[in-house]
Amino acid sequence: MEIYIDGQWCSQDDAKVSVFDHGLLYGDGVFEGIRVYNRRIFRLEAHLKRLYASARALALEIPMPIAEMADVVSEAVRRNRQEDGYIRLVVTRGAGDLGIDPRKCPRPTVFVIVTDIRVYPRELYARGIKVITSATRQVSHEAFDARVKSLNYLKNILAKIDAQRCGAEEAIMLNAAGFVAECTADNLFVVRDGRLLTPSPQDGALEGITRGAVLQLAAEAGVVAAEARLTRYDLYVADECFVSGTGAELMPVTEIDGRPIGDGAPGALTRRLTEVFQALVRSEGEPVW
């Protein structure tokens, strides 16, 4: 495995980040998880656009133009000969003194890892997963905008612990007003009366790249798809439910808080969107090697 760190390529054993890096000390930084399918990087431009927007929102200046970053990511995939896999692109505030003052970090740290990923066992995609509603709430947009994909994932980890202790694979986080925001690492969709609905960023949902692809594919298939304000009621009475994410792809949800969703099996629209999504990701764009 070859890893890119600040202009250098090194092995996994030699890849080092300073213990004084503010990404480690304070979670000060941004990242993207990006998929490789059939030697194609899925929607790299959209991922980089979101990365640079997140960095700008944090007053974090990425030390290379977006076109150069795209070349670095593509080169990382080529060097690792990755046919199908996962890219983790991280930009931290960089190494500095102790204390949160970002002025103490003269230069951000940039690193790129290309590896394999398996968020859920393959067999769960056929039967769906159990999900619970976590006691951990999404941070209010009045405090921090969910559109910033930052390194600070503590609330998500706490919600994931809630799920694991309840014997579930995933957890839903509500916002402070009790509306559905997102899951620990995924966006959430419900289907009711043929309509596809998903929470909006104003309710705490990340503007996921896979989420965007699902909305696009639904529109192309003639399915009414929209952002909507959802409560647990909307989840419990849904005909279908699934989560989407770069790592998870599209995963059916068949039980929420011990209640079966629909008939307790992955729904027809979920299966249909999964099929067209898989066709899309394996054909969109040009191979990088």
Instruction: With cut-offs at 50, 70 and 90, classify the pLDDT of residue 258.
Output: very high
Give the DSSP H or E segment for 33: strand 29-37
3-state secondary structure of 275: helix
Cross-strand bridge partners of residue 90: 31, 111
Q: What is the DSSP string of 91-133?
A: EE--B--SSS-GGG--S-EEEEEEE---SS-TTHHHH-EEEEE
Q: Are residues 181 and 39 in the same domain?
A: no
d(CA 194, CA 177): 27
User: CB-hemisphere CA count at 13 Å for 39?
Assistant: 7
Q: Are residues 137 and 108 in the same domain?
A: no
287 within some domain: no
Q: Using N-to-C axis directions, what is the helix angle for 44-57 and 209-220, rounded to 10°?
A: 130
CATH number, domain containing residue 20: 3.30.470.10
Last residue of a domain, one of 115, 138, 159: 115
- pLDDT digits 0-9 by tens, 157-187: 999 999 999 999 999 999 999 999 999 999 9
Average pLDDT over residues 124-140: 96
Q: Are residues 134 and 182 in the same domain?
A: yes
- Global pTM? 0.95
Q: Are residues 83 and 212 in the same domain?
A: no
Q: Tokens 């947009």 sit at which residue?
A: 141
Q: Are residues 131 and 77 in the same domain?
A: no
18 within some domain: yes
236 within some domain: yes
Annotation says 149 is catalytic = yes
Q: Are residues 95 and 225 in the same domain?
A: no
d(CA 236, CA 266): 15
Give the DSSP H or E segment for 159: helix 154-165
User: Which has the closest alpha carbon to 273: 238, 242, 230?
Assistant: 242
- pLDDT digits 0-9 by tens, 78-103: 999 999 999 999 999 999 999 999 99
Q: Are residues 148 and 275 in the same domain?
A: yes
Instruction: With cut-offs at 50, 70 and 90, classify the pLDDT of residue 7.
Output: very high
CATH number, domain containing residue 242: 3.20.10.10
What is the reported pLDDT for 173?
98
Instruction: With cut-offs at 50, 70 and 90, classify the pLDDT of residue 286.
Output: very high
Annotated catalytic residue within 16, 49, 130, 149: 149
Question: Phi/psi of residue 186, each to 5°?
Answer: -140, 155
288 within some domain: no
Last residue of a domain, one of 84, 115, 146: 115
Q: Are residues 45 and 128 in the same domain?
A: no
- pLDDT digits 0-9 by tens, 145-163: 989 999 999 999 999 999 9
286 within some domain: no
Q: Are residues 155 and 255 in the same domain?
A: yes
**Full domain range(s) for residue 19:** 2-115
208 within some domain: yes
Average pLDDT over residues 216-234: 97
Q: Tokens 């990382």 sit at which residue?
A: 76
Q: Are residues 92 and 16 in the same domain?
A: yes
d(CA 171, CA 232): 12
DSSP letter for 231, please.
-
